[in-house]
Structure 1
Amino acid sequence: QEMLEGKLESYSGDLRRAAVEMAQSWRKDPTLQKLEAMVIAFNDQDLLLISGNGEVLEPDESVAAIGSGGYYAQAAAVGMLRHASGMTASEIAKEAVNIAADIDVFTDHEIVTDEIEEK
Structure 2
Amino acid sequence: MKRSQNARTNSRPGHDARAGHPLDLADGRRVRSTTVLCVRRGADTVIAADGQVTLGATVMKRAAKKLRRLYNERILAGFAGSTADAFALFTRFESKLEQFGGNLSRSAVELAREWRTDKQLRQLEALLIVADGKQMYVLSGDGDVIEPDPVRNAAGETVGYIATIGSGGNYALAAATSLLENTDLTAREVVEKSMKIAAEICIYSNDNVTFEELRAE
Q: Same fold (TM over 0.5)?
A: yes
* Residue 107 (structure 2) aligned to one of 11, 15, 18: 18
Match in the other structure for 1:30: 119
Q: SS in structure 2 opposite 1:13? A: coil
Aligned residues: percent identity? Answer: 43
Stretches of structure 1 that go unaligned for 5 or more consecutive residues are 87-91, 97-119
Q: 1:51-91: per-residue Cα shift (whole Å, max 9, x none)?
A: 111110101130000001111111111111112238xxxxx
2:162: which partner in 1? 63
What corresponds to 2:142 in structure 1? 53
The amino acid of 1:34's aligned partner reads: Q
How many angstroms apart in 2 are the aligned matches of 1:32 and 1:68? 23
The higher-RCO structure (CA 8 Å, 6+ apart) is 2
Residue in structure 2 matched with residue 104 of structure 1 by the alignment = none
Could you tell me which amino acid in structure 2 is paired with residue 23 of structure 1?
Answer: A
CA distance in 2, matches of 1:8, 1:53: 20
Aligned to 2:53: none
Total equivalences in the alignment: 89
Deviation, structure 1 residue 14: 0.5
TM-score in terms of structure 1 length: 0.67
For structure 2, list consecutive stretches of 5 or more residues without a partner in the other structure.
Answer: 1-89, 151-160, 186-192, 198-217
Structure number having the greater strand percentage? 2
- 1:109: which partner in 2? none
Q: What RMSD, in angstroms, separates the aligned Cα atoms of the two structures?
A: 2.1
Runs of 4+ in 1 over 2 A off after TM superposition: 34-37
- 2:105 corresponds to 1:6: no
TM-score normalized by the length of structure 2: 0.38
Question: What is the CA distance between 1:48 and its match in structure 2?
Answer: 0.7
The residue type equivalent to 2:179 in the other structure is M
Structure ranking higher in helix proportion = 1
Partner of 1:39 in structure 2? 128
Aligned to 2:182: 83
Q: Report the AA paired with residue 68 of structure 1.
A: S
Q: Which has the larger radius of gyration?
A: 1
1:21-72 CA-partner distances (Å, limit 9, x unpaired): 0001111222221234211011111111111111101011300000011111
Give, in whole Å, the separation in 1 of the partners of 2:120 and 2:113.
Answer: 13
* Structure 2: distance between partners of 1:20 and 1:84: 34
